[in-house]
Amino acid sequence: MSLVTVFSDIREIRYDETTCPRAQDYLNRLVILPLHEFLSDEDIEDMAKAIIKVEQGLRK
């Protein structure tokens, strides 16, 4: 369980998984890909092929 505490001038505000359930649902399904200047064209092509392969597998 992740918990973020923010202190404002008025009160302490606590955020956890139940604070924003839609955002949490989205984050649970989010895929983050490494994209930076050191990736070769082949690296990017391999990632694209892997994404397509997984997507096709999930359709079955």
What does the pLDDT read at residue 8?
Answer: 60
Give the amino acid at 37.
Answer: E
Q: Give the pLDDT mean for 51-60.
A: 92
User: Domain locations in the chain?
Assistant: 4-59
What does the pLDDT read at residue 55?
Answer: 92
In angstroms, the Cα distances linking 5 to 2, 16, 23, 41 are 10, 9, 17, 41
Dist. CA 55–CA 57, nearest whole Å: 5
**Residues 3-55: tens digit of each pLDDT:** 555 566 677 777 777 888 898 888 888 888 888 999 999 999 999 999 999 99
Dist. CA 13–CA 17, nearest whole Å: 14
What does the pLDDT read at residue 5?
Answer: 56
What does the pLDDT read at residue 15?
Answer: 74
